[in-house]
Homo-oligomer: A and B are copies of this chain.
């Protein structure tokens, strides 16, 4: 097992990365304020891991309240959040009760926002069981729910007390979700870590074959990158925005697909392709790198042909995104692989980009 620290002063916390560690009670109990925990998970993850974790914690003397949610992004809403509050209150959870989120990004976002807002904040531990959650959403304290008018519109920055990333839980992950997680892994290479990008180019087959060593390294490098960025800019007032590479395009693609056509990571991959093309236009990225980036995404079994929605639809969908400031559109672009920046882009540039993209697809 390895431990990475997210350095945030009094709110610093460890990320434990290893195999067969998610039911080790000694990783949890030192972070508890009282021996009571609500385990928030979903109906897909519960049959796989809930009993093992519950039994391990109960054996350590912890009073366990299981809360099983329906599975899926479309349940990341107020109704599901409220069902968590109901369970917490009915089971007399208190200010010192810890909420443990056992599952993927949706469970982490819901469990995290429940922890941020129940009794104005209770302790919280993330136990991500998908690659996407292990490398991205479980680290950094972004929590929240969707609103009918937009994704992640309601939420909080609320840091966990610990993250427990168990590589062995990835064995139960469908191939498609493993690939979706790799989109965020590749992102770290692109925005700030050329050696990692090169490592990914060399080890993609091993990752897809779920070789534990390779997965553990990919999760560790991803978490190290994320921990550094979040430690420097917790509330996304600067550098943290770089983590949104491909996400403004990606959210538009997700929304156009009604959150059913594409997994989040797939939409991010498609958005990354658009961001790469944009980078050639506005950030002097060498044109040959677009193919190199597409090639790695393709090797990860990710889609690389953005849907031809048309410039108007893309711009309308993106302008609902929270990254609009005073009517301008802000994007993360690449100067090179491993070097990124944030800047404002003219609508005319975007229109040309989408017109070209539509012709190529």
Residues of A near any B CB (own CB < 8 A): 34, 78, 82, 85-86, 89-90, 92, 94-96, 113, 116-121, 142-144, 147, 149-150, 152-157, 235, 322, 324-326
Q: Which residue of B lies closest to A114 (CB)?
A: B154
Interchain residue pairs with CB less than 8 A apart (17): A34-B325, A34-B326, A78-B78, A85-B149, A86-B149, A89-B149, A89-B153, A90-B149, A95-B322, A118-B153, A119-B153, A119-B322, A120-B155, A120-B156, A120-B157, A121-B235, A156-B156
Q: How far is the CA of A322 from the CA of B113 in the complex (A)?
A: 18
Which secondary structure dominates chain A's binding surface?
mixed
B147 and A117: CB pair below 8 A? no
Once the chains bind, are B147 and A325 in contact (CB under 8 Å)? no
Complex CA gap A294/B294 in Å reads 76
| Complex interface: chain B residues within 8 A of A322 (CB) | 94-95, 119
Whether B325 lies near A95 (C-beta < 8 A) is yes
CA–CA, A156 and B235, complex, Å? 16
Q: List residues of chain B with CB within 8 A of the CB of A90.
A: 149
In the complex, which of the residues B82, B86, B153 contacts A85, with contact meaning CB atoms closer than 8 Å?
B153
Smallest CB gap from A154: residue in B: B117
The chain B residue sitting closest to A96, CB to CB, is B325
The answer to whether B78 touches A82 (Cβ under 8 A) is yes
Q: Is the CB of A147 within 8 A of B85?
A: yes
Complex Cα spacing A78 to B235, Å: 25
Q: What is the CA–CA distance of A177 and B325 in the complex, to the nearest angstrom?
A: 41
Min C-beta distance of A113 to chain B, whole Å = 8
Known A82-B78, A94-B324, A94-B325: A89·B119 in contact at CB below 8 Å: no
Q: A116 — which chain B residues lie within 8 A by C-beta?
A: 156
The answer for the CA separation of A13 and B180 in the assembled complex, in Å, is: 43
Query: Once the chains are docked, how many angstroms separate the CA of A125 from the CA of B150?
Result: 25
Residues of B within 8 A of A143 (CB): 120
The minimal Cβ–Cβ distance linking A317 to chain B, given in whole angstroms, is: 14
Q: Smallest CB-CB separation from A92: which chain B residue?
A: B324
Q: Which residues of B contact A96 (CB under 8 A)?
A: 325
A120, B323: Cα distance in complex, Å: 13
Contact (Cβ within 8 A) B325 A150 = no
Measured in the bound complex, the distance between the Cα atoms of B96 and A322 in whole Å is 10
- Give the contacting residue for A155; candidates B86, B117, B147, B235; CB below 8 A: B117
15 more A-B residue pairs beyond the given contacts A85-B154, A118-B154, A120-B144, with a C-beta to C-beta distance below 8 A: A34-B325, A78-B78, A78-B82, A85-B147, A85-B149, A86-B149, A90-B149, A94-B325, A119-B153, A120-B142, A120-B155, A120-B157, A120-B235, A121-B156, A121-B235
Q: How far is the CB of A112 from chain B (nearest CB, A)?
A: 11
Q: Bound complex: CA of A152 vs CA of B95, how far in Å?
A: 13
Enumerate chain B residues within 8 angstroms of A89, measured Cβ to Cβ. Answer: 147, 149-150, 153
CB distance from A178 to the nearest CB of B (A): 28
Chain B residue nearest to A141 in the complex (CB):
B120
Nearest Cβ in chain B — how far from A286, in angstroms?
33
Complex Cα–Cα for A116 and B117 (A): 10
